[in-house]
Amino acid sequence: MRRLVGMEIVDEDSANVNVHFLLDATTLSPEKILKRMSSIALGMFRDTLNTLTSGDKTVLQTMVNRDDEIDRQYFLLVRLIRSTMVDKKLAHALNLENIDILDYRIAANLLEAAGDTIVDLANSLTGLSLMPAEIKKIYDVAKEIEKIHEKSIEAFISHNRSLAIEAITLHRKYHKKISEIRSLLETKKQTSIDLFDIVYSFDRIARCWNDIADLVKPVYT
C-alpha cells in the first residue's frame, strides 16, 4: 500500500481489505508527475556516480527507498494515463491527445526502468574496489549522462524537437566513448565481470534518456 499514491484503506476484516482512490484526477498533472520521477532519478544517478570519486558509499544504501518513490509516482502517472484513455473530457482538460497519452506511458516506463538500473548500479558499486585510473575514465564519461538526461526531459516536456536532437547527439558521442572504454577493458585479461556490469549499467541508463528524447515528434509547419 505504501507504493500506491492516493490509495487508502476504507474497510477491512480478517479476510478482506477494501481500498479507495481518493485523488481527483483533474487536479493531477502528468507533466509534474513525470518531472518528479525525473528529479528523483537524476538525484539518484548523481549520488551514485559521485561515489566513484568520493569513496563514500553510505549514500548507496538510500537508493532502494528513493526508487520506491519513483515506483509510487509511476503508479500514479499510469493510473492517470489510463483514466484519460477512457475519459475524453479528462484528456481534453489535461490537454492530452492520444499520441501524448502513449508517449507519457512510454516515458514513465523508461524512467522507472532507469531507477531500477541505478539501484542495480549502486549494488554493484557497494563492494567493488577500482583502480584510480579506471575510476577516472569511467567517471569522466558517465558524467556526460547528466546532460543527456536534462536535455531529454526538457525536450519531452516542452515538445522541443531541436533540444531532443541535441540530446540524441550527446548520446551518440557518449556511446562512442563508453564503447572505447569497453573495448579497452576487453583487451585486459584480468578485468573483472563486476567492472563490465558497471559500464553496462551506465550504458543502459543513458539509453533510457536517449529513448525519451526520441519520443519527441517533429513539428511540421
Mean pLDDT score, 136-146? 89
**Which of residues 178 and 217 earns the better pLDDT score?**
178
First to last CA, the chain: 47
Instruction: Tell me the per-residue pLDDT of 84-105, one tens digit each, with 9 for 90 and over.
Output: 988 889 888 888 888 888 999 9
pLDDT band at 75 (very low <50, low <70, confident <90, very high): very high
CATH number at residue 167: 1.20.58.220
Indicate whether 105 belongs to any domain.
Answer: yes
Indicate whether 64 belongs to any domain.
Answer: yes
Per the CB < 8 A criterion, the answer to whether 130 and 195 are in contact is yes
Asked whether the predicted pLDDT for residue 131 surpasses 70, the reply is: no
Instruction: Tell me the per-residue pLDDT of 37-50, one tens digit each, with 9 for 90 and over.
Output: 999 999 999 999 99
Indicate whether 77 belongs to any domain.
Answer: yes
Indicate whether 178 belongs to any domain.
Answer: yes
Indicate whether 123 belongs to any domain.
Answer: yes
pLDDT band at 191 (very low <50, low <70, confident <90, very high): low
Structural domains counted in the chain: 1
pTM for the whole thing? 0.86
Cα dihedral 184, 186, 192, 195, rounded to 10, equals 50
Indicate whether 1 belongs to any domain.
Answer: no
Indicate whether 2 belongs to any domain.
Answer: no
Indicate whether 76 belongs to any domain.
Answer: yes
Q: How far apart are CA 97 and CA 103, in angstroms?
A: 10
Q: Which helix (H) or strand (E) holds 18?
A: strand 17-21
Q: Which domain holds residue 34?
A: 7-213
- Helical H runs in the chain? 30-54, 63-86, 88-93, 98-126, 132-142, 145-158, 161-187, 193-213
